[in-house]
Chain A
Amino acid sequence: MRFRHLKFALGVVGVLAFAGAPAVHADEQFFPLQSYRVGPYAAGGTGFFGGFIDYLNLINIRDGGVNGVKLTWDEGETQYEVERGVEVYERLKNRLGVAAWNPLSVGIAYAMIDRITKDKVPLITVNHGRTDSTDGRVFPYVFPLLLNPYSETSGIVNYIASREGGVDRLKDKKIVVLYHGSPYGKETIPIYKLLADKYHFSVEQIEVPHPGNEQQSQWLSIRRAKPDYVVLRGWGVMNPVALKTAQKVGFPADHIIGNVWSNSEEDVIPAGDAAKGYIAITTQASGAEYPVLQEVIKTVYGAGKGNLDDKKRIGSVYHNLGIVNGILNVEAIRIAQAKFGERTLTGDEVRWGFEHLQLNPARVEALGAKGLFHSINVTWDNHEGDGRVTFQQWDGAKWKVVSDWIAPDRASLRPIIEKSAAAYAREHGITPRTSGDDPVSQ
């Protein structure tokens, strides 16, 4: 009798152990997601990760995966906190077939660079991250795809120049940069100075302490400075408060240009009427009229597998960023499969795919994303990929695109990036690669 009980107990333990182990299939590519669906930045997190998962679902449902390799994912909640992000990394890093990490957090990304380099898995920091990680010679596994902070700065200055009638008309203009009091906010300080010297405009850079829920003194200083434009390099609650306080001091919203983390619906809706006319840079247009978004609605949401609880958010800025991020990840896998075979790839093989991620406008159109984003051209030493930017204006209800696709002046910024990357290489004992075929040093 006792023996029967023992056998039963062992059987239960065995079943439980089997159930607790991660499912292992040969043809799966896994995305570990350090998402944030609660906490102060949950609105952005639910939009971005919702869009990313929606696209992965589209590929699985419509195409049966990437050439038959099913895409899988698992989420770990970080609340945007670095230590939780690292804990999720440690928990999920040993799962089979990890394709890439996409934390959408500067802090978590910084904390992961050494780890992912050691583990040989790509880290994607779309539109954010370390600017010098653009230099793939030194950062083989880090990809600040589409836009790094320096390119963003150049894109904004080029847009202001286009509004004024050319770069020579920038002479004697005055620009105030209102930046978030954090390493992220401060990253572009030298670049605005550099471009001010180059184009002979004056620049004043004013810090807003985190979280930015009080800006009266900063905007009074701006009113006294009488700038032609204010660049808003904000984050979270700082953005609507900036727009509201600008209205309080009588500064026109259409002369405030927001950066890429000040460009979402969450940044303008709380500001109400004060946000009408506000302009912001973006790498991906908002709206659900693009074929790929229509497919997501029909195929994924039609099957009841949509990730957003509120369908009205389909096509919002963060959701579309998630969709574009999904396209970039999936296409990198597809490109890598063409070289290594249609099977589960290693992280290093996916890195190769990202280093050959070249989507011209024709390919972007074929993917159903014409107008959603322009193109990307990643190479082994340029991990940003020469993305284009456009500008959108808030009309009180939705964003409307108000410019063509603009190319930042990357050639003049590249030497600064290389200098910073070289310093990082010296500090960390890294031997920079001299070609894409070089082995990666750690």
Chain B
Amino acid sequence: MFDYQFLIEVLVGGLLSGVMYSLVAIGFVVIYKTSGVLNFAQGAMLLFAALTFVSLVERGVALPLALLATLAIMVALGVAVERTVLRPLVNQPPITLFMATLGLSYVIEGAAQLLWGTQVHGLDIGISDVPLDIVGVFISRFDLFAAAVAGSLVALFALFFRTTRTGLSFRAVADDPFAALAVGLRLPRVWAIVWTVAGIVALVAGLLWGARLGVQFSLSLVVLKALPVLVLGGFDSIAGAIVGGLLIGAIEKLAEVYVGPLVGGGIEAWAGYVVALVFLLVRPSGLFGQKLVERV
């Protein structure tokens, strides 16, 4: 007899894992939305943020102070990236900017290890991972906490983009950078703020992923989890990042548990990419992405 309770458990587990993917994907979306750059260095930024935070704490810095200091460092990193990498490459083709972020990811990874060492660190953010037993279905407290954080982050971004002058200027730049420039918006300033916001997202995601995996080099690999999410949800939609994350998380887990045993297992890593590829053929702009209309 089919075990529906187990199905629900797998589905819930998948959705909650998907939230973690969304957290990484949001960092990509924020930058892509305003500058059209697919920032491959997002994973490296996440590693850098988590490693900086945990290294400061291990050196005796109080938690709130370490958090503030890391935040300040991520802001400085964002501004530095805009000044030294993006500004000189303005008006270059997207592939040039993408390659620049690819290079940047190696630089940040190397700098993180040079600065803080290569050791693996544990990170306890005080959330117990003993499961909640809800009618026989085990649900992770930590994943629920992560989902709440992601939800709050999205709500904050929605408010920011809709109600603040800076948020509105982001949207203007995203819609048409030349028109935004023509009405007096300062693009470099907007981009510097965007990279700062991406740095803050990296810090939040880094702390949550770091608490899950330990703070180590592999943290930078979590970008690979975000890519199918972006294809599915759309590269320029925060709502898309959330929905895409949930879908990819659920599909991965269901595929691994129900299809995996039929084909030898281990399909989780690429099941999400298969779905993303199929989706790309049907709807290239993703579920929530803006359709590109070009006058020719």
Seen from chain A, the residues whose Cβ lies within 8 Å of a Cβ on chain B are 37-43, 45-46, 181, 206-211, 213-214, 216-218, 220-221, 223-224, 236-237, 240-241, 244, 247-250, 266, 269-272, 274, 309-310, 313
Assembly CA distance A274 to B257 (angstroms)? 24
Give a binary string over B208-241; 1 marks a CB under 8 Å from any A CB, 0 the rest.
0000111111100110010000000000000000
Assembly CA distance A29 to B112 (angstroms)? 36
Nearest first, the 10 closest Cβ-Cβ pairs linking A and B are A270-B214, A42-B118, A209-B269, A207-B266, A237-B218, A217-B256, A207-B265, A40-B217, A266-B120, A217-B253
Assembly CA distance A216 to B20 (angstroms)? 13
Contacts of B131 in A (CB 8 A): 247-250
Q: Are A271 and B269 touching (Cβ within 8 A)? A: no
Seen from chain B, the residues whose Cβ lies within 8 Å of a Cβ on chain A are 3, 6, 9-10, 13-14, 17, 110, 113, 117-124, 129-131, 138, 140, 142, 212-218, 221-222, 225, 252-253, 256-257, 260, 264-270
Q: Are B256 and A213 touching (Cβ within 8 A)? A: no
Q: In the complex, which of the residues A38, A210, A221 contacts B113, with contact meaning CB atoms closer than 8 Å?
A: A38
Closest beta carbon of chain B to A225's beta carbon, Å:
11
Of B123, B217, B221, B257, most A-chain CB atoms within 10 Å: B217
Contacts of A206 in B (CB 8 A): 265
Q: Are A216 and B118 touching (Cβ within 8 A)? A: no
Q: Are A271 and B217 touching (Cβ within 8 A)? A: no
Assembly CA distance A240 to B269 (angstroms)? 18
Chain A, residue nearest B10 (CB): A220
Q: Are A240 and B213 touching (Cβ within 8 A)? A: yes
Assembly CA distance A46 to B216 (angstroms)? 14
Q: Are B113 and A211 touching (Cβ within 8 A)? A: no
Q: Are B118 and A38 touching (Cβ within 8 A)? A: yes
Contacts of A247 in B (CB 8 A): 129-131
- Extra A-B contacts (15), CB below 8 Å, given A40-B221, A207-B266, A217-B257: A38-B113, A42-B217, A43-B119, A207-B265, A208-B266, A209-B270, A213-B221, A217-B10, A223-B138, A224-B6, A237-B213, A237-B218, A248-B131, A269-B122, A313-B119
Closest beta carbon of chain A to B132's beta carbon, Å:
10
Q: In the complex, which of the residues A216, A224, A274, A310 contacts B13, with contact meaning CB atoms closer than 8 Å?
A: A216
Q: Are B122 and A272 touching (Cβ within 8 A)? A: yes
Known: A43-B120, A224-B6, A269-B122. A213 touches B138 (CB 8 A): no
Contacts of B260 in A (CB 8 A): 217
11 A-B pairs whose Cβ atoms sit less than 8 Å apart in the complex: A37-B118, A40-B221, A42-B217, A45-B118, A216-B17, A216-B253, A224-B3, A249-B138, A269-B121, A270-B122, A309-B117
Known: A207-B265, A247-B129. A217 touches B13 (CB 8 A): yes
Contacts of A223 in B (CB 8 A): 138
Q: Are A220 and B122 touching (Cβ within 8 A)? A: no
